[in-house]
Structure 1
Amino acid sequence: MLVKEVYETLRSSPQWNQTLLIITYDEHGGFFDHVATPVSGVPSPDGIVGPDPFFFKFDRLGVRVPTIMVSPWIDKATVVHGGNGKPYPTSEFEHSSIPATVKKLFNLSAPFLTKRDEWASTFESILQTRTEPRTDCPERLPTPARIREGEAKEEAKLSEFQEELAAVLKGDHILTSYPEKIGKEMKVKEGKEYIEDAVKRFFEAGRFAMKMGVDADQILQMKPSLTTPSSNP
């Protein structure tokens, strides 16, 4: 529904003929990818090295994610398979291709954000195959079918992932009672209340910290103990 509403808003806009809508996934969602991920010639964005024992250098790509581009300047059923070795022989399409393409399209003089968007392939060529914008783009998209009929199963037990997510958000994962006690018997309804309480306490502590003169950038680094009520009087 979000994609439908965004597309239809853009399609009815006077700026439609100057529009490129990019729909891309953040992660692959767990689906198998038969193409091996690039592990050579991929620059680390900013030289960060992960901690011991792996010392990961962020110098490889992950599994592929789907990306859809919508514009009256793109021919129907266009499929782009790879970056064609530009601007570097090992360059590939990846998330950093978006800012890299914006920089190239608008001839921005500002430097690249990192070494990764400097390396990433750009996709402006798909907008340069037509002399006139298409007029056959649909004005409306079909209404998507509901994925789930009915409401959430509030009496169901939390999954292991939900238990961990809830505990980390609230800071309880540092307690000795986790994971043996916290979340094990929690149901979906209780988990929702647990998370809402965690978010409420975070904002309360954040507002209090700002009143005390704490820099706003430091609030996200507050330890969970600062947002959890003390048992002492």
Structure 2
Amino acid sequence: MTTMAEFFSGRPSETITRDLLGKLLSYKSPKGLVSGYIVEAEAYLGVADSAAHAYEGRRTKANDALYGAPGNIYIYTSRGYYAFDIAVQDEGEPQGILVRGVEPKDGLDIMMANRPKMGSELTNGPGKLMQAFGITDLHWNNTMLDDSPFEVSLEDKLTPAEIITSARIGVSKRGGQTNAPYRYYVAGNPYVSGMRKRDMNIETHGWLTAK
């Protein structure tokens, strides 16, 4: 069985990000279990990536979690919202994956109480999914997945019929990586941020088999 450390290291971060799509992200919150299948994620390639928090080796108290072992949780704030990132590669190599959207599975009533929105608006963005999960602080930042109430299941998963690659959203315009194609998402899934209604696959949500 593949361990978290093995899954989140030893391969290019772009490959890991693609493979993360369809995996179940769950959180044993104080209100109960909430979870969702990952439908959108972005890779950030560390010191050489001008859009990354660790560009040119920048290391602060705020981004220290990125330098942790593979599978370390990096929670940070952006524009007043919380975001969920996972460190990848070996310890000291600050690459990470931002989870941008999930399709809800467990605890829908809890998520809707945390974030009173209907349909895809519930979790179709990094800040939205964190609000729906009930994450309102940095308590679990810099904690390994295995030592936290979060889990990325490598067994409970769905298979995307097609994965789209694009430029990342809302990243720094400095350097040459602004438009790098490091965003990956499940084609047609309604819970992908910014997905237009005409591009949504309402029948299968972009999975190989209908849910």
Larger Rg: 1 or 2? 1
Q: Which structure's residues are more often helix, by fraction?
A: 1
TM-score range, shorter chain: under 0.3
* TM-score, reference length from structure 2: 0.21
Q: Higher relative CO (CA 8 A, sep ≥ 6), structure 1 or 2?
A: 2
* TM-score, reference length from structure 1: 0.19
